[in-house]
Structure 1
Amino acid sequence: MRLPTAPFQRINTTLNIAPSPFARDMKLTRFAIAFLSSLLPVAALAQDAAPKDTVAIVRDLGPLADNLVLAVSMDRSANGSVVFSSAQQALQGVFFGPVRFVKDGDRQCVNFATPGAILKALPPLKIDRTYTLATWMKLPCPGNHGIVWESLHESPLVAAGDHFGYIQKDVEGTYCTVKDLTGWHHVAVTCDGSQMTFFLDGESRGTAPVVLRESLQTIGTATYRKPEVNTQCDCLDDMFIFNRALNQAEIGQLSKVRLPIHEPTPADLAGQISRPTPAELAANRAANHPEANNPAPNVAANDNGASADAAELVKTYRNSLVFVSGTNGAGSGFLATYGKGSFLFTNAHVAAGVKGAGFKTLNGDAVQVGAASAAVGHDIVLMQTAPGGKPFEIMQGVDKEAAIGDAVVVLGNAEGAGVVNTIMGHIVGIGPNLVEVDAPFVPGNSGSPIIHIKSGKVVGVATYVMINKMDPVTKKPLSKPVLRHFGYRIDSVKAWQPINWAAFAAQAATMENIEAMTKDLVKLIVDIDRTGRITPGLHTNPAIKSRIDDWLGQKHTHMSQTDTETANYNFVSYLKSLCRTDVVGAHASLTYDYFQRQLTEQERDRDALADGFGQVLKTIKR
């Protein structure tokens, strides 16, 4: 399959990125990311809905949506409706979400493309099990300058060939930040107009080419250099250079996409998340298991068989399911062999959040645990146990032994009720560190084993994810929280950190306080936006309430215009400082990778909040 040579129609095209599924539970608004990721869908796509000079906003809501960067080119059919162009038929394996059209200028920064320009978009290519798309895109909006790209080669810039990001001016203005939406690593590049200079998580990763395809045709080079202090960067210069390089690059033979073909229907464009049908799941299973050359099996019958298999798994591993309970909550865990030992596995956030935790099997037997370790880069904790019983077996090489569409079951503690539940589903995504499933498990299942029905092996430790999104302009919630269900892969853990429980608990308390402050700051900024003022008595956090009282007291006096502006400036400055003080101070005290990654996410939230306060507080009614 080759990219069609026929020119596209002259219509502006926008690429949209959804947040990564391979990120920890995002409980809080990410204002910086919402700009790209949270555009409201509409109920339907009508004929002639797009007037001249429109911008097409496309949002991918499919099961692997967040592991792909998508772009759509639009052209017009004879009847005037807007359809996907033939150039995008290579995206047939992707489940499309709704398309919305707006007039230029109707929305702040909505016209990402240069007027009349056509963005160069390539269909996805397959490298092993990773689906990628090379796309360059102009973002001429203040605070979100830059380009979007994807490298189809394993280079340090993209870590594993499946990391996507956008360039955003750093808070301190010294370099541009490339936000990696897969692993949430912090990548930075300087913008000197000639080359991309980068470091990952503050460390040099050397020099690596940014390539367009497997032939390693270079379209840009990334080299490491420490950012210069007080150097202002204009990412648009780099963007134009790289965009020209992409436009001049040769488009090679495209690989066949691995997902089943799914033509976007009107319902896909108008409705909610599109999931694989039973027939598609069956076809995908057959495609990924060549030894089964028979016609696609009856999925409904298979699911019934899977339910029976799940019931048998409960009987077999009854005494290896563990209930985690404490004074403030509950969770799940399981016993499994790992290496040459026997261990109890659960989530790091369960171990950190459940105080005074005790462990019991389904039969009510207490589980005695010994030395514990936390996985680096994963939400997993293991604790040594005495061998015995029938422990679970961990699947080694999930990306080789399992496939999208395979049946799974989640076994665990139903909402902390102490009752085992079996939740059936299928694998809908496989990533380097996680698998995504459509089994609708609940918070009490955190730490449960996700079991591959066919092999009976554990493919991941269940993690419950809720993603909130807000409109970047109005700062109002766009929709109800999106629920996602993942499992951290044990087979991909590369390193473990021994746990000192006193230190672990202290660091957990530090992060708990930071997250509580973030929630209170979010509540404040939402209150100001919704009411135009600060609601009396709503904000009880002492650090916030005391400054609100002082500020309101000043505003109730007869101040001059200058004094009022000074009071507002001081209030905003304090809130911005409050957004950063505790997270900066926590760096020295956090030693566990799990909490360090949490802190990095909190820093991003706080930076976005600090920017948001500077904008939203301008709307306060005097």
Structure 2
Amino acid sequence: MNSAFKTALLLLVAALAAVPVVAETESDEEAREKQRKRNELKNKQESQALISAQFSYGFSDVADKLVIISCKSEQGKTFGSGFVARMDGKTYIFTNQHVIMGADKISFKTASGTQLKPRSVELSLTRDIARLELETDHAFDIGNEVEMDIPVAVFGNSEGAGVGTELFGVVNGLGAELVETSAEFVSGNSGSPILNLSQEVLGIASYVRVSRNHAMKEGTKFENQTRRFCYRLSGVEWKSVRWTHYNKQYGKLYRQSEMLYNGIFEIIKNWSESPLAKVSIEDNPERSLHSWAKSHNEVISRFDRSSAHKRQLMTEYAESLKKLSGVCRGRARQISMFSEQRELTGFLREEFEKQSGSLDYAAQWIDQCSAMIYSQR
């Protein structure tokens, strides 16, 4: 993310200063990488077929224990996955906290079409997991024995499309809280169960990490690789919460701040391609961006109409960027204060700290960009 920010902002300054920016052609390294991926695809498909052949069950056999989660909020409609499993003598829906956080309305439906109505919400103190108690006879058992290289299946709601998918892989990493797998789950699979050959849950699909190029990784299995991690369900400490209060107080801020950061990053990315284009954020409901975008687009309109007062217009452009950095810093301070609340789970506290740091970082680079524009008027 850091390098993308720097590249976008430097290109913005260059364009505003009327310095030609020549698009880079595809490098030999990029061409080799594309060819490598093409070569890997066939091997990957063959490997998937070999792994899936070891499973005596498929999606339809476990559909009544898989949960498709639909969330509505002012940010729109989102989807995630979950599953029903037994733990501590009770039955729960399990999913990731980030799937349901900030939603105004949440519905739970099994992949076989049965609506579920959970009664209470508990959150893991340290991991991105939530469990919601309910009554049903259809539930997975949780397996505590996990070994390297064993085959696993991920059945869930890939890309939030509401369509069940089957993904297969092996366990290729183990930790006290995490399991790494080669099964290529994606965003909509967040909350899906990681199942072994016996239909036991070994973990919950939670996040994807892209391993960037780095000299220390050259020649290793971590070079330019996407890695996928699942939280284990053993050894979890749970906290019962009043969901309506907790979600209104913290969940909505978490989701709003996520939208703010995504919106700002999208603006900066678009600037690298067309710094004098008007900012379009109609699809982003974050209110703090809209008033800024309106005034910024007025500056852009004056750029369009006149080149006679370039110095003045660049000054206005630089000042507009300062206002945007102020939006970032204001939200970063708010999030930082909320991260100190004692009733937060560790997951949400860490998320607030990350969001605050990311928005502060964005503000610093926008300020530097503004200063560079001032200096080149």
How many percent identity over aligned positions?
A: 22
Name the residue aligned to 2:13.
Answer: none
Residue 274 to residue 580, structure 1, CA distance change in 2 (3 Å)? farther
1:377-410 per-residue CA deviation (whole Å, 9 max, x = no partner) reads: 3221101122x5242122326xxx321x221001
Counterpart amino acid of residue 535 in structure 1: A
Name the residue aligned to 1:463.
Answer: 206
Matched, 1:544 2:254: no
Residue 482 to residue 351, structure 1, CA distance change in 2 (3 Å)? farther
1:485 to 216, 225, 228: 228
CA contact (8 A) 1:34 1:469 kept: no
Residue 304 to residue 370, structure 1, CA distance change in 2 (3 Å)? closer
**Is the partner of 1:402 in helix, strand or coil?**
coil
Name the residue aligned to 1:323.
Answer: 68
Residue 502 to residue 553, structure 1, CA distance change in 2 (3 Å)? same
Question: Gaps spanning 5+ residues in structure 1: where?
Answer: 1-28, 45-97, 99-266, 279-298, 471-480
1:310 to 39, 43, 57: 57
Larger Rg: 1
1:314 Cα deviation from its structure 2 partner: 5.1
Name the residue aligned to 2:174.
Answer: 430
Matched, 1:602 2:346: no
Aligned residues: 330
Distance in 1 (alpha carbons) for counterparts of 2:168 and 2:6: 32
Residues 475-554 of structure 1 aligned to structure 2 (within 5 Å): 484-493=227-236, 495-506=237-248, 507-531=250-274, 533-538=275-280, 541-549=289-297
TM-score norm. by structure 1 comes to 0.45
Structure with higher RCO (Cα < 8 A, 6+ apart): 2
Distance in 2 (alpha carbons) for counterparts of 1:41 and 1:489: 41
Residue 458 to residue 304, structure 1, CA distance change in 2 (3 Å)? closer
CA contact (8 A) 1:325 1:354 kept: no
Counterpart amino acid of residue 119 in structure 2: G
Matched, 1:406 2:150: yes
Residue 310 to residue 606, structure 1, CA distance change in 2 (3 Å)? same
1:482 Cα deviation from its structure 2 partner: 7.6
Counterpart amino acid of residue 393 in structure 1: D
1:178-228 per-residue CA deviation (whole Å, 9 max, x = no partner) reads: xxxxxxxxxxxxxxxxxxxxxxxxxxxxxxxxxxxxxxxxxxxxxxxxxxx
Name the residue aligned to 2:221.
Answer: none
Name the residue aligned to 2:21.
Answer: none
1:339 to 85, 88, 104: 88
1:398-440 per-residue CA deviation (whole Å, 9 max, x = no partner) reads: xxx321x221001223544554332211122233432222222
**Is the partner of 2:57 in helix, strand or coil?**
helix
Distance in 2 (alpha carbons) for counterparts of 1:346 and 1:456: 17
1:318 Cα deviation from its structure 2 partner: 4.2
1:517-568 per-residue CA deviation (whole Å, 9 max, x = no partner) reads: 212222332333333x33125356323224425756898698796x778656
**Is the partner of 1:447 in helix, strand or coil?**
coil
CA contact (8 A) 1:374 1:497 kept: yes
CA contact (8 A) 2:108 2:115 kept: yes
**Is the partner of 2:116 in helix, strand or coil?**
coil
Name the residue aligned to 1:202.
Answer: none
Counterpart amino acid of residue 439 in structure 1: A
CA contact (8 A) 2:328 2:360 kept: yes
TM-score norm. by structure 2 comes to 0.70
Distance in 2 (alpha carbons) for counterparts of 1:589 and 1:366: 35
1:341 Cα deviation from its structure 2 partner: 2.1
1:304 Cα deviation from its structure 2 partner: 5.1
CA contact (8 A) 2:151 2:169 kept: yes
- Higher helix share goes to which structure? 2
Distance in 1 (alpha carbons) for counterparts of 2:139 and 2:51: 25
**Is the partner of 1:306 in helix, strand or coil?**
coil
Residues 435-450 of structure 1 aligned to structure 2 (within 5 Å): 435-450=179-194
1:368 to 117, 126, 132: 117
1:451 to 195, 206, 213: 195
Residues 211-250 of structure 1 aligned to structure 2 (within 5 Å): none
Name the residue aligned to 1:584.
Answer: 333
1:362 Cα deviation from its structure 2 partner: 3.6
